[in-house]
Amino acid sequence: EARPFAYNKKSLFCDGVDLRKLAGEFGTPLYVYSAEQIGYRYELFEAAFQEHTHTVCYSVKANSSLAILKLLGERGAGFDIVSGGELERVRKAFRPALKKVVFSGVGKQVWEIDAALKADILIFNVESEAELGLLAERAAAMGKRARFALRVNPDVFAETHPYISTGLSEHKFGIAIGLARAIYKKAAKNKSLDAAGVSVHIGSQIRSVDPFAAAMERVTGLIAELRTDGHQIRYVDAGGGLGIDYSQGDFDPAAEVARYAAALGGVIEGLGVRLLLEPGRFLVGQAGGLLTQVLYVKKNGAKTFVITDAGMNDLIRPSLYRAHHEILPVKQGKDAGKVDVVGPVCESGDFFAHDRVMSAVKPGELVLIEDAGAYGMSLASNYNSRVRPAEVLVEGRRARLVRRRESLRDLMAAETV
Ligand code: LLP
């Protein structure tokens, strides 16, 4: 697989576009995405699951750019949303996909439930008994029948960062699988509810497929019981979470997704359900990079700091999860040294790399923080009153500004003195 970011005559390109040109035209910090890579990853998922009736519901939170939602929607993707805001984004980006929306999240509000019912989304992934009660009430008030799946907590351990692991009983997510059957029984008596599925999500950036299979085994066990009880379960939602490689290792996405499909497929074989998948990171993570300019290089004691114009407000993953991101100089260089790459924000936690061996860069030069397409811009903030970056979508040899840089006026638009 060709990675979207590669050197071409000593300068780093995204597909057919020189990153120096993008920086010149749109400024920095700048998120750059490869449309080709996103499409390719989506098609890998489609191909890997072709033997199963399925819908790939892209997890909007990973990157909620309207242009990316449209690109995926047009290819046939559904969407996994967690808020009324994300629902609105799907509506705006590609309206026909509303009927392929799954609504997850532990804290759905009345207006969000109402909006989703009105949009006639595919299914609600319900995370508590109280939420199910509210859903029934709102559906009744609107004269509708709400399709739901309980998100069950399978109590399966998935090795990943503790902040993004979700499938243990100590986590706030889902309903303990042992309690689910009784809740479905109760729901069957309510005419406003349609117990259409079961869902599960055990965490994110999971590199082994075993925990996915283990969780799915518990879910299929539950489905057998539910069918005995007379429920017509038509959907099983496997959640998201398939990880990517953030180092410069050999990563074969086709093989990864094939292993994932084999693991899940092996468990749901013959179940006669539509499989819903909620990948986020796997589809967009490696398609994006954060392009930033070096402002200063300075030495403090034994350390050399490369200070960039991007900060933790633009990409928080290293600060929040100690996540590793490769950093490449746009101008291919040689003499390697050890540096800390840091942002301008007033916190020691504002860093992209510690003690990183990379080729020397000078003020004014550009570097690319790789694999920033997922949970980059979607987690960006205005901390330190910094405007959020612009976003560019590269389509072959062309680049399109899909979100302009915020202005100082945007920064204060919602405020009064
Ligand atoms: N479905 C549900 C119910 C989720 O909670 C998530 C992610 C996904 C799907 C998509 O997971 P993915 O395929 O992207 O792993 N900010 C963190 C990741 C948080 C994930 C939250 N839930 C990070 O930057 O690593």
Q: Given the CA of residue 280, which atom of ligand 1 is nearest to it?
A: 14
Q: Are 182 and 226 in contact (CB under 8 A)?
A: no
The one-letter amino acid code at 413 reads A
Do 121 and 260 lie in one domain? The reply is: yes
Would you say residue 246 lies in a domain?
Answer: yes
pLDDT band, very low/low/confident/very high, at 171 (cuts 50, 70, 90): confident
Would you say residue 112 lies in a domain?
Answer: yes
| Most ligand 1 atoms within 8 A of CB, residue of 41, 45, 61 to mutate | 61
Residue 308 CB–ligand 1 contact under 6 Å: no
Do 262 and 321 lie in one domain? The reply is: no
Would you say residue 89 lies in a domain?
Answer: no
What pLDDT is recorded for position 2? 66
Residue 279 CB–ligand 1 contact under 6 Å: yes
Average pLDDT over residues 299-321: 97
Residue 105 CB–ligand 1 contact under 6 Å: no
Q: Are 82 and 305 in contact (CB under 8 A)?
A: no
Does residue 160 or residue 42 have the better pLDDT? 42
Distances (CA, A) of 53 to 48, 114, 268: 12, 29, 11
Q: Which of 277, 297, 324 is the last residue of a domain?
A: 277
| Per-position DSSP letters for 258-270, written without gaps between them | HHHHHHHHHHHTT
Would you say residue 182 lies in a domain?
Answer: yes
Do 127 and 273 lie in one domain? The reply is: yes
Q: Given the CA of residue 105, which atom of ligand 1 is nearest to it?
A: 3
C-alpha 339/C-alpha 299 separation (Å) is 9
Active site (catalytic) residues: 346
What pLDDT is recorded for position 155? 87
pLDDT band, very low/low/confident/very high, at 28 (cuts 50, 70, 90): very high
Residue 240 CB–ligand 1 contact under 6 Å: yes
**Cα(201) to centroid(ligand 1), Å:** 9
Would you say residue 155 lies in a domain?
Answer: yes
**267-300: per-residue pLDDT in tens?**
999 999 999 999 999 999 999 999 999 999 999 9
Q: Given the CA of residue 201, which atom of ligand 1 is nearest to it?
A: 3
Distances (CA, A) of 351 to 35, 91, 328, 333, 389: 28, 36, 15, 22, 17
The b/e string for 181-220 (b: 16+ C-beta within 10 A; e otherwise) is bebbeebeebebbbbbbbbbbbbbbbeebebbbbbbebbb
**Cα(283) to centroid(ligand 1), Å:** 12
Nearest to 311 by CA among 330, 295, 287, 300: 295
Tell me, what CATH number does 321's domain have?
A: 2.40.37.10
C-alpha 260/C-alpha 214 separation (Å) is 12
Our count of domains for the chain comes to 2
* Burial grade of 407 (CB within 10 A; 0-12, 13-18, 19 or more): exposed
The one-letter amino acid code at 381 reads S
Do 225 and 341 lie in one domain? The reply is: no
Do 272 and 301 lie in one domain? The reply is: no
Indicate whether 169 pLDDT > 80.
Answer: no
**Cα(87) to centroid(ligand 1), Å:** 17
Nearest to 152 by CA among 123, 183, 121, 122: 183
Do 259 and 294 lie in one domain? The reply is: no
Question: Which residues constitute the domain of residue 185?
Answer: 105-277
Q: Strands 303-308 and 288-300, how do they pair?
A: antiparallel
Would you say residue 48 lies in a domain?
Answer: no
Residue 153 CB–ligand 1 contact under 6 Å: no
**348-402: per-residue pLDDT in tens?**
999 999 999 999 999 999 999 999 999 999 999 999 999 999 999 999 999 999 9
Q: Number of H helices and number of E strands within the chain?
A: 12, 21
Average pLDDT over residues 91-100: 98
**113-163: per-residue pLDDT in tens?**
999 999 999 999 999 999 999 999 999 999 999 999 999 999 888 777 777
Do 129 and 270 lie in one domain? The reply is: yes
For ligand 1, atom 22: residue with the closest CA: 204
Q: Which of 245, 277, 309 is the last residue of a domain?
A: 277
Measured torsion, CA atoms of residues 107, 372, 346, 406, in degrees rounded to the nearest 10: -80
**Cα(60) to centroid(ligand 1), Å:** 9
Would you say residue 270 lies in a domain?
Answer: yes
Tell me, what CATH number does 264's domain have?
A: 3.20.20.10
**113-127: per-residue pLDDT in tens?**
999 999 999 999 999
Do 269 and 336 lie in one domain? The reply is: no
**Cα(143) to centroid(ligand 1), Å:** 33
Do 272 and 347 lie in one domain? The reply is: no
Do 259 and 405 lie in one domain? The reply is: no
SS3 label, residue 87: helix
**Cα(409) to centroid(ligand 1), Å:** 32
Do 218 and 175 lie in one domain? The reply is: yes
Q: Given the CA of residue 125, which atom of ligand 1 is nearest to it?
A: 3
58 assigned to a ligand binding site? no
Residue 80 CB–ligand 1 contact under 6 Å: yes
For ligand 1, atom 7: residue with the closest CA: 204
What pLDDT is recorded for position 216? 97
Residue 375 CB–ligand 1 contact under 6 Å: yes
C-alpha 153/C-alpha 366 separation (Å) is 45
Bridge partners (DSSP) listed for residue 277: 56
Q: Are 283 and 38 in contact (CB under 8 A)?
A: yes
Residue 95: CB partners within 8 Å, gap ≥ 6? Answer: none
Indicate whether 1 pLDDT > 80.
Answer: no
What pLDDT is recorded for position 370? 98
Place of tokens 């949009």: 119
Do 216 and 328 lie in one domain? The reply is: no
**221-253: per-residue pLDDT in tens?**
999 999 999 999 999 999 999 999 999 888 999
280 assigned to a ligand binding site? yes
Q: Which of 277, 295, 329 is the last residue of a domain?
A: 277
Would you say residue 72 lies in a domain?
Answer: no
| % of the chain beyond a pLDDT of 70 | 99
Residue 317 CB–ligand 1 contact under 6 Å: yes
What pLDDT is recorded for position 165? 73
321 assigned to a ligand binding site? yes
